[in-house]
Chain A
Amino acid sequence: MSEATLDQTTTTNAQPKAARFAVFGTSFLLGLVLPVTAGLLYEAAFRAGLVQARLLPPPSRVFTTLWKLAQSGELTTHVLATTVRVGMGFGLGALVGMLLGALTGASRNARRLLDPTLQALRAIPSLAWVPLFILWLGIFESSKIALIAVGVFFPVYLGVMAAIANVDRKIVEVGRVFRLSRLALVRRVLLPAILPDFIIAIRSGLGLGFMFVVAAEIMGASEGLGYLLVDGQQLGKPDQILAAIIAFAVLGKIGDWLIVVLTKPFLTWQDTHQRGA
């Protein structure tokens, strides 16, 4: 009897796959309506001679610039430089944020010892570190990665600490009844329990990573999307600035999407009201 029920679940799961894809497609297209319409209207206004496009070039010109950058291989260089910086800073910041967040979330003594200092450091605008990082680490990659890591660290730390402290006592008691060690309790109960919150924390961490890579690259870099921005400003090329902004948007969206897609298999257990949507 249970076999039959299991079979049924598989078929009901397989059937709406096409339907679900259609839903995904529709919502994807729906999301494009607003920007595409705005772009087309502006393009039309430009063609009709209604707007002066010196400071705000029409989409056609921006995409031509983007295409030229891509063809000359410049875009790849810049995207790669930015991606490597964000990747390394994000990896470092997220890792340290996760470890310290788990420590302060799980142990009251660690929280009393570390959290006040970390909260004080968090209150410092991260950009204030830039001069110091440049003095300490030089003007090249290290100082940039350090700045990005600082930006990523705080949302991850805060998210993990709050999530661990908020894990249901009843679930933790199950771990205690089976006499898990402190470490086993973190690994087998606390970390899986906070996974959904953790994913949100690293997603906002990645967002901040992109914010700080721009800051780092604007302040001095010879390559990277942030460099394209500054270069566009200094040489009066708004189309290049917009091209870099679009590249940022695409890159950030891909990064976020990757986190969502890669973590999805670990969240199939969730019992949420929007499951499968």
Chain B
Amino acid sequence: MLTIDALCKIYPNGTQALEKISLDVDAGEIVALVGGSGCGKTTLLRMISGLEAPTRGHAALDGEVIDAPHPAVGIVFQEARLLPWLTVAQNIAFGLDHLPKDEQDRRVDEALLRVGLAGYGKRWPRELSGGQAQRVSIVRALVTQPKALLLDEPFSALDALTRESLQDHLLALWETHRPTLVLVTHDVEEAVALADRAIVLQPKPGRIFADIPIDLPRPRDRLSPEFAEAKRLVLKALDGSINQPHSHQAGRVQSPAAGGSF
């Protein structure tokens, strides 16, 4: 289980990016962090990944406090961030250095096959399209079989069609080992398509505005009325989070709209 306990982040210039964020994510759960720009969702993700240190509070995986990048926590960035001097296969194997060569090859081949890039292993990153590069980046994080995978707006730079296909790829990959997924997004449709829960953040300072369960069976039909209703709820909460007066209201963690079940 991923636990976030009273996490605060104040930057050296005095900006308070996050105020007392507390959140529990069950093992295997998919949680989407949604919010307008500047609400600190990326900052929160970077602190869960151990790349940045919180000012107060902590994030922990199965009771183990995360104060540096953790072997069981993977991250996928907004850009693919492939190392340009390594081939696609070498990029995927980047975090597998501790394994014997044949095990590395086996995992890389399987990963390439699963994201529809079989035969691309010897290519250079510059020869890939944006969507292909991001698929490689996702499997690079998944081949180490982390317990939790953090995704920072991973599909935001892609066109709508590619984005939808990559969301399906991500769900299919998640099915095998069922890692906990924490997905930062500003795309409400993406949150509803993927997540078990949408956490809506409110800016200045960043804090949780609403925690909305999305109780739809998978595979989800994006055109169903239930899907549209879930989207409407999240959008409404998002609107509320942005139009809130800046005064700090403690204890506002449950959206009025999300009280009941669907």
- Residues of A near B227 (CB, < 8 A) are none
CA of A170 to CA of B120 in the docked complex: distance in angstroms? 24
User: How far, in angstroms, from A193 to B81 measured CA to CA in the complex?
Assistant: 13
Is B10 at the interface (CB under 8 A from chain A)? no
Say whether A2 contacts B126, CB under 8 Å.
Answer: no
- State whether A195 touches B119 (Cβ < 8 A): no
**In the complex, what's the smallest C-beta–C-beta distance from B190 to chain A, in angstroms?**
22
**B179 interfacial by beta-carbon distance below 8 Å:** no
Q: Closest approach, in angstroms, between the C-beta of A148 and any C-beta of chain B?
A: 31
Q: Is the pair A174, B94 in contact by a Cβ cutoff of 8 Å? A: yes
Contacting residues, chain A, for B75 (C-beta < 8 A): 177
Contact with B along A164-197 (1 / 0, CB 8 A): 0000001101101111000000001100110100
CB <8 Å contact, A174 and B81:
yes
Instruction: Collect the chain A residues with CB atoms within 8 Å of residue B68's CB.
Output: 179
Q: List the interface of chain A (C-beta within 8 A of B).
A: 2-3, 6, 170-171, 173-174, 176-179, 188-189, 192-193, 195, 268-271
Cβ of B77 within 8 Å of any chain A Cβ, yes or no, is yes
B94 engages A178 (CB within 8 Å): yes
Q: A176, B69: Cβ atoms under 8 Å?
A: yes
Q: Which of A170, A178, A189, A193 has the most CB of B within 10 A?
A: A178
CB-defined contacts of B144 to chain A, threshold 8 Å: 178
**B85 lies within 8 A of A195 (CB):** yes
Which residue from B81, B86, B95, B124 sits with its C-beta under 8 Å from A170? Answer: B81
Q: Is the CB of A178 within 8 A of B95?
A: yes
Q: Is the CB of B84 within 8 A of A269?
A: yes
* A171: chain B residues within 8 A (beta carbon): 81, 83
The 4 A-B residue pairs with the shortest CB-CB distance, nearest first, are A2-B119, A271-B126, A178-B95, A192-B85
Selected contact of B120 from candidates A2, A179, A193, A195, CB within 8 Å = A2
Task: Closest A residue to B82 by CB, please name it.
Answer: A174
Name B75's closest neighbour in chain A (CB-CB).
A177
Partner of A177, one of B49, B84, B85, B125: B49
CA distance A173 to B76 in the complex (A): 11
Other-chain residue from A3, A189, A268 in contact with B83 (beta carbon distance below 8 A)? A189
A177: B residues at CB distance < 8 A: 49, 51, 69, 74-75
11 contacts between A and B (CB under 8 A): A6-B119, A174-B94, A177-B75, A179-B71, A188-B94, A192-B86, A195-B85, A269-B84, A269-B85, A270-B84, A270-B126
**Contact: A173 with B71, CB < 8 Å?**
no
Cα A271 to Cα B126 with chains together (Å) = 6
A221 to chain B, nearest CB (A): 42
B118 at the interface (CB under 8 A from A): yes
Give Cα A271–Cα B49 distance, bound, in whole angstroms: 30
Q: In the complex, which of the residues A6, A188, A192, A269 contacts B124, with contact meaning CB atoms closer than 8 Å?
A: A269
Given A2-B118, A2-B119, A177-B69, is A170 in contact with B77 using a C-beta cutoff of 8 Å? Answer: yes
B 59-83 to A, binary, CB cutoff 8 A, 1 in contact else 0: 0000000001101001101010101
Instruction: Check if A3 sits within 8 Å of B69, measured CB to CB.
Output: no
B83 to chain A, nearest CB (A): 7
In the complex the two chains form, what is the Cα distance from A269 to B128 in whole Å? 12
The minimal Cβ–Cβ distance linking B153 to chain A, given in whole angstroms, is 14
What is the CB-to-nearest-CB distance from B116 to chain A, in angstroms, rounded to a whole number? 10
Give every chain B residue within 8 A of A2 (Cβ-Cβ): 118-120
Q: Could you say which residues of chain B place their CB within 8 Å of the CB of A6?
A: 119
